[in-house]
Structure 1
Amino acid sequence: MTFLTLLLQAAPADYTQFLFPIAIAAVVYFFMIRPQQKRSADTKKFRQALAKGARIVTIGGLHGLVIELTEETVVVEVDRGVKLRFDRSAIAREVGTKAAEAAV
């Protein structure tokens, strides 16, 4: 066999050995990294869009009504006259809006 024949026979094996790690990296990116980045961006948008009067739940499970907002904090009324100050990052989700839309 000539050198050129050996080189042509070895070439496809060289390319395929790089295909598997690239495929694994693509699967990891599209099924693990990208969805997490999307969730993180959605959470950041939600926290920036908070408004007075929203019913929220904190990451600790405390339910309340937003009565005051600043750049970094949120004042939540959990009962009549009981106001607590939280970082915006402590707000997990808003409640009541989707339930009200579903009922209508």
Structure 2
Amino acid sequence: MNLQGIGGTVAYFGLFIAILYFLMIRPQQKQQKKRQEMLGKLEINDKVVTVGGLHGKLIKMDDDTIVLRIADKVEVKFDKKSIAYVASDN
């Protein structure tokens, strides 16, 4: 039995896991944290864009849902997590 070969294999496997963590898992966690912060900062009258590309003005909000006004007298209810980003006022 070659113990040195087993140790090398374990070292390569550990290195692979570390690289996987820093290239894939950690950036995803940062992005998810940033998104949660954005959703937590939503306020009434913010202009937002949904993941489907619908632009609207936030008029009502509770813990899980929001209501957007997308045109005069047209209001649509969405899950809060369907907000892609807050649009700029430009």
Give me the TM-score of the superposition, normalised by structure 1.
Answer: 0.77
Kindly provide the CA deviation profile for residues 41-84 of structure 1, in whole angstroms up to 9, marking residues without a partner as x: 21112112110111100011100011111111111000111111
- Match of residue 81 from structure 2: 89
Aligned residues: 89
Can you give the 5+ residue segments of structure 1 that lack an aligned partner in the other structure?
1-9
Are positions 1:25 and 2:17 aligned together?
Answer: yes
| Equivalent residue runs for 1:9-24 within 5 Å | 12-24=4-16
Can you give the 5+ residue segments of structure 2 that lack an aligned partner in the other structure?
none
Identity of aligned residues (%): 29
Relative contact order higher in (CA < 8 Å, ≥ 6 apart) = 2
Give me the TM-score of the superposition, normalised by structure 2.
Answer: 0.87
